[in-house]
Amino acid sequence: MNPDGVQMTASGYIAELRALVGTRPLILPGSSVVIVDESGRLLLMERADTGGWGLPGGFMEPGESFEDAARREVREEIGIEVADLSLLGVFSGPEYYYRYPNGDEVFNVTAAFLARASTDAVFRPDPGEVLSLRFFDFERLPPDVLIPEQLIVSTYAAMRGQPR
């Protein structure tokens, strides 16, 4: 909540920080979700904000847990509910630096989770966040998977014994 007692969203919180620090690097916690189908294919979304392919996910809102952020981001971005999440790992460090097209710089601290998509899941991608959405075989991932998420995808692939 902000000083006026109003619940803040991640974008509102980050906007307030950006008003104070400009585009300087921020350390921002968030969640990503590796979603696979029954065939073991990986769900990726072509992101509207940065271009390139990535995992559903985003920054935490003040007072939110990593798990709650993961569920909320999946719901907001691709329109499905995920109940069972298992922690894949926490990812941080210099390789999680990202500079957005508008010049904002961040060092991501990302809790990555694994979830399964049911065969009857009906995806409703948010067109403001998602240009396209599809499942990929690990042998045929697009070349422009976002750099901060490549290690998450590689970690999952190694865990499952898949090439990447």
Would you place residue 134 in the very low, low, confident or very high pLDDT band (cuts 50, 70, 90)?
very high
Residue 4 domain-assigned (yes or no): no
Percent of the chain exceeding pLDDT 70 equals 93
pLDDT at residue 8 in the model: 57
- Domain coverage including residue 118: 10-160
pLDDT tens track for 39-52: 999 999 999 988 89
Number of structural domains (the chain) is: 1
119 inside domain: yes
pLDDT of 5 over the 60 cut: no
The string of pLDDT tens digits covering residues 52-85 is 999 999 999 999 999 999 999 999 999 999 989 9
Beta-bridged to residue 89, according to DSSP, are 112
Looking at the domain assignment, is residue 115 inside a domain? yes
